[in-house]
Chain A
């Protein structure tokens, strides 16, 4: 099956700094990538939809200036959490849909962000 990777798997940063999370589709070209966040023992909440070469579409309540998304190629999307605060600590998961073939979303393994 299709493989999606995320880097880093875990990151700790200080309050006020920015951190970048990468999402890569390893063996397919991804038309669209999605970014989710998940708090402990809770479900996934969609943050934004990212299409290659265009601006991301953010869900209601998600600050686009705080969560910068770049989808520069068909295999890479990045999420940058700017001026991170402790409340941004969460599990961030990306998913990708293939350019050709069924529209199933393939999920990455997630990135655990801790802001101290």
Chain B
């Protein structure tokens, strides 16, 4: 089983603070996805990273893929209450249109006003 370790599991911060969430594995990813899920809803794809060392930005969110493609991070600048949610990283399987996703355990973020 190719496990994904996410940390921290829970994070509660004040509005305006910065934070980083990590996703690690002992094996190489062909690609990695980050999702955000709000309570009672399905996960929404934020970004897909495929190239070692890749950095992608989505407004105040910065996603980084490790050079060795075994780890990734999500950094949020000046967090807002609307950023509250469960952040999940996921890796694909063997590729193609039928690949399965394996999710990390998630980071439950609460941003307090």
List B contacts of A109 (CB < 8 A).
Answer: 41-42
Closest residue of B by beta carbon distance from A60: B1
**Per-position binary interface string of chain A over residues 76-111, scored 1 when its CB falls under 8 Å from any chain B CB and 0 otherwise:** 000000000000000101010111000111011110
Given the known A-B contacts A31-B98, A98-B97, A103-B95, are A44 and B43 also in contact in the complex, defined by CB atoms under 8 Å? Answer: yes
Say whether chain A's binding surface is mostly helix, strand, loop, or mixed.
strand
Q: How many A-B residue pairs have CB under 8 A?
A: 56
Q: Are B101 and A105 in contact (CB under 8 A)?
A: yes
Given the known A-B contacts A107-B43, A108-B42, are A99 and B105 also in contact in the complex, defined by CB atoms under 8 Å? Answer: no
Rounded to whole angstroms, the CA-CA distance of A106 and B60 in the bound complex is 24
**Interface size grouping (class) on chain B:** 20 to 34
User: Does A32 interact with chain B (Cβ within 8 Å)?
Assistant: yes
Closest residue of B by beta carbon distance from A34: B100
Closest Cβ of chain B: how far from A72's Cβ, in Å? 18
**Per-position binary interface string of chain A over residues 25-68, scored 1 when its CB falls under 8 Å from any chain B CB and 0 otherwise:** 00000011010000001111110010100000000000000000
List B contacts of A103 (CB < 8 A).
Answer: 92, 95-99
List the 5 shortest-distance A-B pairs measured between CB atoms, nearest first: A107-B42, A43-B106, A103-B97, A43-B103, A43-B105
Q: CB within 8 Å of A: which residues of B?
A: 40-45, 48, 86, 88, 92, 95-106, 108
